[in-house]
Chain A
């Protein structure tokens, strides 16, 4: 069992990854709200976590749930293209291809989450499975299907 580090350390080390996957999953405007909800939920539960073995996977699981809540509350699944395009321009991150992220945003939820976790959050397959609450096999399949669809749509 690993002792829980001060929560500030968790925030410092993982906030960028959480923000990245949330932007991939719900778009820029939604990401801000989901980020707050994710870290507040994490902070509430933190003392009872017990083990600091996989803080990143734990946080990304919460982020994933908050992203789903966000989509449910909006009553729609995919993020409109215009919104995502705006994100990439405003953030000015050159390696972010707006067309690509728009296509990711249009994927079915599981595939979208798997792709965002893998390429936005840089997570290995095992942790993606943990974050999505499914088997590694299912996570691999979602990622594979998502990538296949992206390749098809983007040529």
Chain B
């Protein structure tokens, strides 16, 4: 009746603020956190689409500060705005979704990096490609190291499947979320069974 009431009033107040900000088009970056088998993910979107996925080993506060600096400081927690992203990721982790159907906002990557990431985005579920192939698809076959860097800086991991890019010869290479996560994702997609090293 006393403290609990006061707190719930404040929550309603915040919810109303969020709703009015959204209705007025003031919500430049909406974010939420979502559970995953690997730990909490940070999900952020703009009016264009999904702009950032933060993996469990990344510092969410740092990622939000980066979004504030590079996209817009109008960053607000707004879970509803990410319902569809969360729904598709849940299905993906359950092995029930092999293709994300989400609008993407590519603005955090420019030039060659963005071309690499767009090429990665076309690698089908359950298949892998080499960094060299990605460099070639992005228009510069010799820029293999730069292609690797583009993978490493992927702002939208999981949905843009940089985990499907391996070294020529099949070695795992690197992963922003840690190699065990990359392995687990490839197992989930049925890639690693009897295929490692080939």
Contacts and interface: CB of A to CB of B under 8 A. Distances in A.
Interface of A: 3-9, 11, 15-16, 19, 32, 35-36, 39-40, 43-44, 46-47, 90-93
Interface of B: 1-3, 5-6, 10, 13-14, 16-17, 20-21, 24, 26, 29, 31, 64-65, 67-69, 72-77
B16 A19 contact: no
A44 B64 CA distance: 19
B26 A5 contact: no
A32 B9 CA distance: 9
Query: Which DSSP category, helix, strand, loop or mixed, fits chain B's interface?
Result: helix
Contacts of B2: 91-92
Given A6-B65, A35-B17, A91-B5, 11 more contacts: A6-B64, A6-B67, A6-B68, A6-B73, A6-B76, A7-B75, A32-B13, A39-B21, A44-B26, A47-B72, A90-B5
A32 B17 CA distance: 10
B1 A36 contact: no
Contacts of B76: 6-8, 11
Contacts, number: 72
11 contacts: A5-B68, A6-B29, A6-B75, A7-B74, A8-B31, A19-B13, A35-B17, A36-B20, A40-B20, A44-B24, A93-B6
Nearest to B30: A8
Contacts of B64: 6, 8-9
B77 A40 contact: no
Nearest to B64: A6
B10 to A, nearest CB: 7
Contacts of B72: 47
B6 A91 contact: yes
A16 to B, nearest CB: 8
Contact of B69 (A3, A8, A90, A91): A3
Contacts of B74: 7, 43, 46-47
Contacts of B20: 36, 40
Contacts of B1: 92
